[in-house]
Every structure is written in C-alpha cells, then in structure tokens.
A and B are shown apart, each in its own frame.
Chain A
Amino acid sequence: MNIHIPTPLRAYTDKQETVSIPGATVAEGLAALVAAHPALQQHLFTSEGKLRSFVNVYLNDDDVRWLPAGQATAVSPGDELSIIPSIAGGCSKEPSI
C-alpha cells in the first residue's frame, strides 16, 4: 500500500511524500512504516502504543477509526493510506502569551 505522509512528518521519512509499504492490514502497514522509519513512532503513537488522538488515518476516503474492523481492516496493494494530523482551534480562550 501507499502511505501518504503529511508535511511535518516528512522529516522522518527522508523527505518522502509517499511511502510504499507491504502489509495485509492497516495495522500492519503502520507497523511496517514505523519499522522502516522508527522516528515516526513518537509522532504517531502514545507511549501505550495507541494512535495519538489528533492523528487521523484514512484508508482511501474512510476514517479508519470508524471502519468496523478498525486498524485490522484488510488492505490491498492499490489502497492508499493517508496520515493527517487534525486542524482545529479558535478564539474561544484568551491568548496565553
């Protein structure tokens, strides 16, 4: 599968925007990605090994969190996995500077 890497994490994939990784499931793909680029581990996963809450992983156009099998969802070689940190905010609280 191809895994698309967001701009901030390309520093840890030798500047690659897209990484081709083997794997039969989403979880296997993510594990293979981290095995190939170990510095990604702390950016994608908590110390307990769970995907960080602000990291979205999409299999093609589907949020993996909402797929029935989650990260155990099977993937085929032509599938695309996108890693997308969330974007949010707003002026709901006073500036902290």
Chain B
Amino acid sequence: MTLKLSNPLYRELRAHGEETYPHECCGILLGSADGSEITVQRLLRAGNTRTDSAHNRYNIAPQELISAQREARQAGLEIVGFYHSHPDHPAQWSATDFAEAHWLGCAYVITAVEQGRATVTNSFLLAGTREEDKSFRPQSIVLPSSAPHLDSD
C-alpha cells in the first residue's frame, strides 16, 4: 500500500521537523484509504508532550487525537497516519516506535533531520490484524510529478 501526498503537505511535514530540531516533531495525517493506497489530504501538527526527552521521544496527547478524529469526521476524512522526526538519526523505525505503534493499517512517516535540515523521509505501514502479529512494512511515498524544470541558461 502506497502513501500519496501532495508536495505542499510533504514539504510541511519535513519543515515541521526542521523547526522543532533538535527535538522531535509529531503530527497527524487525515485522508482516506482504499485497499492499495492511503491518500493524505490534511496534516495536523501536534505538540510533543515528551518535554522530558523531546530530542528522542514523542507522544501526542489523546486530547489532540480526539480533536483530530472530530475534525476528520466533520470533513468526511479519517485518521490515516502519523508523522514524526528523528533528529540526527536515520529515518528508520526504532524499537520504541514499534513498541508504541498501535494504529494498525495506518502510515507512520519518519523524517531524518540532520543538523537542522530534513534529509530522508520514509513511511512505514503498520501491518497486521492485532498487536501480536503487527509489523512495520516500508511503503512508497508517491508525490505528484514535479513540473519540468526549465533551465534558462
């Protein structure tokens, strides 16, 4: 299952990680999902409640999730995933990410931010049918093809 994002939303989630560096950013992805594709239509920034260890941990307050779920419902969308950043760390899921991932069928997007600049962004689908058989599977991020770059020289 691929993750489809617009270029502005893709830039937005990466920029969020740069803004919060050296702390982790986090947010919620609203959109829709069918059998083969998750389409993100709205991105909601969330606060990181892990102020005790914000450089390497994140947590989204349940109240923010409830607000996001309400907003999604009103817009005819659903929560389809989440994003966070890894400051000076690869864009790969960690043991902590896996242990604390519970939204089966949703996308978990991770952006590596090196010295304040967003580098690699990866997405992982939390596959499985229950906690005991869940797994992260890499998924392609599909962006609209860019307009041809015309060099004036």
Q: What is the interface of chain A mostly: helix, strand, loop, or mixed?
A: mixed
Are B106 and A91 touching (Cβ within 8 A)?
no
Residues of B within 8 A of A95 (CB): 90, 92-95
Residues of A within 8 A of B63 (CB): 58, 61
Are B102 and A89 touching (Cβ within 8 A)?
no
- A89 contact from B62, B96, B106, Cβ within 8 A: B96
B125 to chain A, nearest CB (A): 12
- B69 contact from A55, A82, A92, Cβ within 8 A: A82
Q: Which of A1-56 contact B (CB under 8 A)?
A: 4, 6-8, 11, 17-18, 42-43, 52, 54-56
**Number of A interface residues in the complex (CB < 8 A):** 31
Are B56 and A90 touching (Cβ within 8 A)?
yes
Residues of A within 8 A of B58 (CB): 88-90
Contact with A along B55-66 (1 / 0, CB 8 A): 011111011011
Residues of B within 8 A of A97 (CB): 92-93, 136
Are B102 and A86 touching (Cβ within 8 A)?
yes
Closest to A96 in B: B95
> Which of B69, B84, B102 has most A Cβ within 10 Å?
B102
B7 interface contact, C-beta 8 A: no
Are A85 and B53 touching (Cβ within 8 A)?
no
A4 to chain B, nearest CB (A): 6
Are A91 and B96 touching (Cβ within 8 A)?
yes
* A residues adjacent to B (C-beta < 8 A): 4, 6-8, 11, 17-18, 42-43, 52, 54-56, 58, 61, 63, 82, 84-97
8 A-B pairs whose Cβ atoms sit less than 8 Å apart in the complex: A7-B103, A87-B65, A89-B84, A90-B53, A90-B84, A90-B97, A91-B87, A96-B93
Identify 11 new A-B residue pairs, CB closer than 8 A, beyond the known A4-B73, A8-B106, A95-B90. A7-B103, A8-B103, A52-B131, A84-B65, A88-B59, A89-B97, A89-B98, A91-B87, A91-B89, A92-B53, A97-B136
